[in-house]
Amino acid sequence: RAEHALAADTAPGATRDGHPVALLANIGTAADAERVAPGAAQGVGLFRTEVLFLERSTEPTVAEQAQTYGRALTALGGRKVVVRTLDAGADKPLAFATQPDEENPALGVRGFRLVRSNPDLVEHQLEALARAQAETGVEPWVMAPMVATPDEARDFASRARAHGLTTVGVMVEVPAAALRAREILAEVDFVSLGTNDLAQYTMATDRLRGELADLLDPWQPAVLELVAATARAGTALGKPVGVCGESASDPLMALVLVGLGVTSLSMAPSAIPAVRYAVRAHTADQCAAIAAAALGAGSAQSARATVLAQLDPGV
Ligand code: PEP
Ligand code: MG
């Protein structure tokens, strides 16, 4: 019954004192977009386009891509849609583009780095997005994965803008990008923290190795420091900083992220009601105090415990 009441709540995300926090959905297909009911999410914060490319022997045509992106834009009916360009490589190998023989694929040619060997892949994708924009009249936000430097951010932004795409960002999922978030944000309109990879690269821990889950924990204070640095840069430049990694779906972590200055949270649609409820139960000041407590902790475990102890007893 309580769950039903939670799911029926379609208000935009906000703290108790009205500080807005956009609650967005992570999707992988146009069909997923069609299942994001109005009110369930304020839009899509991560459209993982690689799903369209995986298990194929050749690149999908620009026309096919444009149709898929257009379907997603139409389904969201003008709500925000952040489309991520191809994130192939490492845990997402691509038969026709990635190298099968890399010794350290997570540190290799993955994500936006494919532009070095296959610039056509990203160019075709941007062309398809521009076509979808023209056909639907909806402007997508577009972002590149696995960007490590401001130069890469500038390269992506100039390619996207050359196609007529106006809201351009990059993911922050490499520690170098978090440490230089201000310089990266100077090149783009927004960033989105991919905490799955940010934890992997900060903690030097393969995200697929279950037995190292304690190290991969996004509550690791070192990971939180990098999130905090990125959010500070966003606040300083007045540009949005979202989180689209799995950590955004943890209601406790959501409070920490809001307290650090993150402006949107994107997650599996099923996680949104509980996050909406948790955020609305706290003021922006309470979230800031919760975030400070988490940052001050000595371990992931004690960060979690400290935050639990700080929760408003009425919740
Ligand atoms: C991330 O790394 O946190 C992320 C959202 O991207 P993916 O999980 O697709 O690598
Ligand atoms: Mg990632």
What pLDDT digit, counting tens, does each position of 119-162 carry? Answer: 999 999 999 999 999 999 999 999 999 999 999 999 999 999 99
Residues with a CB atom less than 6 Å from ligand 1 = 46, 48, 87, 173, 194-197, 244-245
Backbone angles phi, psi at 89, to 5 degrees: 105, 165
Q: How confident is the model at residue 258 (pLDDT cuts 50, 70, 90)?
A: very high
Structure tokens at 4: 């039903």
Closest CA to 284 of 248, 253, 259, 262: 259
Q: Which residues contact 101 (CB under 8 A, 6 or more apart)?
A: none
Mean pLDDT estimate for the chain = 95
Distance from residue 171's CA to the centre of ligand 1 (Å): 9
Burial-class residue 309 by CB neighbours within 10 Å (0-12, 13-18, 19+).
exposed
Burial-class residue 82 by CB neighbours within 10 Å (0-12, 13-18, 19+).
buried
> From CA 97, how far away is CA 243, in angstroms rounded?
28
> From CA 108, how far away is CA 134, in angstroms rounded?
35
307 has a pLDDT exceeding 90 = yes
Parallel/antiparallel/unpaired status of strands 241-243 and 264-267: parallel
What pLDDT digit, counting tens, does each position of 204-239 carry? Answer: 999 998 999 999 999 999 999 999 999 999 999 999
Amino acid 25 reads: A
Our answer to whether residue 287 is catalytic in this structure is: no
For residue 2, what pLDDT is reported? 67
**pTM for this model (two decimals):** 0.96
Counting ligands in written order, the one closest to the CA of 194 is 1
> From CA 142, how far away is CA 130, in angstroms rounded?
10
Counting ligands in written order, the one closest to the CA of 48 is 1
For residue 221, what pLDDT is reported? 97
107 has a pLDDT exceeding 60 = yes
Q: Which of 121, 144, 203, 244 is catalytic?
A: 244
Q: Which residues contact 40 (CB under 8 A, 6 or more apart)?
A: 7, 10, 25, 269, 272
**DSSP class of 106:** G
Q: Are 43 and 79 in contact (CB under 8 A)?
A: yes
**Ligand 2 being an ion, which residues bring their Cβ within 5 A of it?**
173, 194, 197
What pLDDT digit, counting tens, does each position of 3-39 carry? Answer: 677 777 888 999 999 999 999 999 999 999 999 988 8
For residue 86, what pLDDT is reported? 96
246 has a pLDDT exceeding 90 = yes
Q: Three-state DSSP class for 99?
A: coil
> From CA 265, how far away is CA 241, in angstroms rounded?
9
Closest CA to 81 of 117, 119, 132, 127: 132
Terminal CA-CA length for the chain: 17
What pLDDT digit, counting tens, does each position of 40-93 carry? Answer: 999 999 999 999 998 888 999 999 999 999 999 999 999 999 999 999 988 888
Angle (nearest 5°) at CA 28 between 27 and 30: 90
For residue 118, what pLDDT is reported? 93
Distance from residue 103's CA to the centre of ligand 1 (Å): 21
CA dihedral 71, 77, 80, 85 (to 10 degrees): 0
CA-closest residue to ligand 1 atom 9: 48
For residue 91, the ligand 1 atom closest to its alpha carbon is 10
> From CA 257, how far away is CA 253, in angstroms rounded?
6
Q: Three-state DSSP class for 197?
A: helix
312 has a pLDDT exceeding 60 = yes
Q: Are 311 and 16 in contact (CB under 8 A)?
A: no
User: Which residues does residue 22 pair with via DSSP β-bridges, in sequence order?
Assistant: 264
Q: How confident is the model at residue 169 (pLDDT cuts 50, 70, 90)?
A: very high
